């Protein structure tokens, strides 16, 4: 069992009631579960909303039980879903509960920021994500409506190695002037979470993991990823998903453990409905990391931590 200790100062980011970052073992892993992802949410009906409500509450409950902080990741795929989905989440979370907005298109991200500013909710928002595809209009929108924190994506389509992923963040690799971290800071975002950008098997998937300690040590910001995306794109498993859901879930949720032992501070673990399994599993790994960190490096766990909550 390897537990790392980083030579550089490790920043702790606070978003609402959630703290994330620090040296391994210093804080429990933040778990971010996605709501409204997939075609079935194209039109929200009463049944889907009731299910979402139950899933959100289940994440909250298991988060309390294991001591792992939680956050919702609100997937928004088009302009017409911005208000519908965000108003639902605002209605179903307290003013201290942060949430992430997970939006593939720049135009929709801009609209989401505008809406959240109007609702006075930007201080709870984790922007997911600032990446290579950012537009000038988007940067302007971020400056005008700055979210509390942002995920900065280390995806470098030209070089998937650890050095390539760090390059897009640090100097831009010739594609982003000054690099994405500098760009995020220039846009007025102080709380950055770095994402190592999960890639599929055969596309340097292992670099997704190796980048975790490398990025943490280089910049000290909290680091994580959505490693479940690597699992989700695995064709062998995909072919067995329907017949053997348990097998799929074991691989999907289990993948998160790999990131934690390499130093990850947070993870976007997939559908929020997986919370009852993801949290106890991650809590178990956090217990191991915390024991190792205390033994080797004298890092004591905080009062609320899986080590005390899951004795």
Only segment of 44-52, 55-63, 125-133, 301-309 that touches another protein (CB under 8 A): 125-133
Q: In terms of CB distance, is 53 or 233 closer to another protein?
A: 233
Under 8 Å CB-to-CB from 246, ≥6 apart: which residues?
none
Contacts with another protein by CB under 8 A: the residue count is 46
| Site membership for another protein, residue 163 (CB under 8 A) | yes
Mark residues 190-229: x for contact with another protein by CB under 8 A, - for none: ---------xx-xxx--x--xx-xx--xx-----------
Q: CA-to-CA distance for 202 and 82, rounded, in angstroms?
A: 35
Closest separation in Å from C-beta 95 to another protein: 30
- 3-class SS at 237? helix
Cα 20 off chain centre by: 11
Contact between residue 269 and residue 31 where contact means Cβ atoms under 8 Å apart? yes
Degrees, nearest 5: CA angle 91-184-121: 15
| Site membership for another protein, residue 128 (CB under 8 A) | no
Mark residues 54-83: x for contact with another protein by CB under 8 A, - for none: -----------------------xx-----
Closest separation in Å from C-beta 202 to another protein: 8
Only segment of 11-19, 158-166, 270-278, 298-306 that touches another protein (CB under 8 A): 158-166
Q: CA-to-CA distance for 248 and 242, rounded, in angstroms?
A: 9
Tokens coding 161:
């190695």
Q: CA-to-CA distance for 29 and 31, rounded, in angstroms?
A: 6
Closest separation in Å from C-beta 244 to another protein: 14
* DSSP string over 104-142: SSHHHHHHHHHHHHHTT-GGGEEEEEE-TT--HHHHHHH
Binding another protein (rule: CB under 8 A), the pick from 43, 47, 91, 235 is 235
Q: Per the omega criterion (within 30 degrees of 0), is the bond before 149 cis?
A: no
- 3-class SS at 38? coil
Only segment of 51-59, 62-70, 93-101, 130-138 that touches another protein (CB under 8 A): 130-138
Q: In terms of CB distance, is 4 or 115 closer to another protein?
A: 4
Binding another protein (rule: CB under 8 A), the pick from 4, 41, 115, 248 is 4
| Site membership for another protein, residue 188 (CB under 8 A) | no
| Site membership for another protein, residue 101 (CB under 8 A) | no
Place of tokens 């994506």: 153
- Own/partner long-range contacts of 158-165 (Cβ < 8 Å, ≥24 apart): 160/199, 160/203, 160/204, 160/207, 161/204, 161/207, 162/207, 162/210, 162/211, 162/214, 165/196, 165/197, 165/207, 165/211, 165/215
Binding another protein (rule: CB under 8 A), the pick from 50, 87, 144, 157 is 157
| Site membership for another protein, residue 247 (CB under 8 A) | no
Site residues (vs another protein, CB under 8 A): 2-8, 39, 77-78, 103-106, 131-133, 155, 157-164, 166, 174-175, 199-200, 202-204, 207, 210-211, 213-214, 217-218, 235, 238-239, 292, 296
């Amino acid at each position: 069992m390897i537990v790392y200790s980083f030579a550089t100062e490790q920043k702790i980011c606070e978003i609402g009631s959630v703290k994330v970052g620090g040296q391994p073992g210093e804080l429990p892993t933040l778990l971010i579960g996605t709501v409204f992802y997939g075609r079935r949410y194209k039109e929200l009906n009463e049944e889907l909303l009731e299910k979402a409500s139950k899933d959100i509450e289940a994440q909250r409950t298991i988060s309390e039980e294991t001591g792992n902080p939680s956050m919702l990741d609100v997937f928004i795929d088009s302009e017409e879903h911005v208000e519908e989905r965000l108003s639902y989440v605002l209605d179903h979370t307290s003013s201290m509960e942060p949430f992430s907005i997970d939006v593939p298109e720049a135009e929709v991200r801009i609209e989401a920021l505008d809406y959240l500013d109007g609702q006075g909710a930007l201080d709870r928002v984790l922007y997911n994500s600032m990446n290579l595809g950012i537009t000038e209009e988007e940067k302007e929108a971020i400056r005008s409506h700055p979210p509390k924190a942002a995920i900065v994506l280390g995806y470098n389509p030209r070089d998937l190695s650890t050095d390539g992923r760090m390059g897009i963040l640090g100097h831009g690799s010739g594609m982003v002037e000054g690099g994405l971290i500098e760009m995020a800071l220039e846009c007025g975002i102080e709380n950055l979470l770095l994402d190592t950008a999960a890639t599929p098997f055969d596309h340097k998937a292992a670099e997704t993991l190796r980048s975790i300690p490398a990025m943490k040590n280089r910049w000290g910001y909290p680091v994580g990823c959505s490693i479940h995306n690597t699992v989700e794109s695995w064709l062998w498993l995909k072919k067995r998903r329907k017949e053997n859901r348990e097998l799929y879930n074991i691989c999907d949720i289990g993948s998160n453990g790999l990131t934690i032992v390499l130093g990850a501070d947070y993870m976007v673990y997939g559908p929020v409905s997986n919370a009852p399994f993801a949290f106890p599993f991650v809590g178990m790994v956090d217990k191991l990391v915390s024991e190792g960190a205390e033994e080797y490096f004298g890092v004591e766990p905080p009062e609320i931590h899986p080590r005390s909550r899951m004795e």
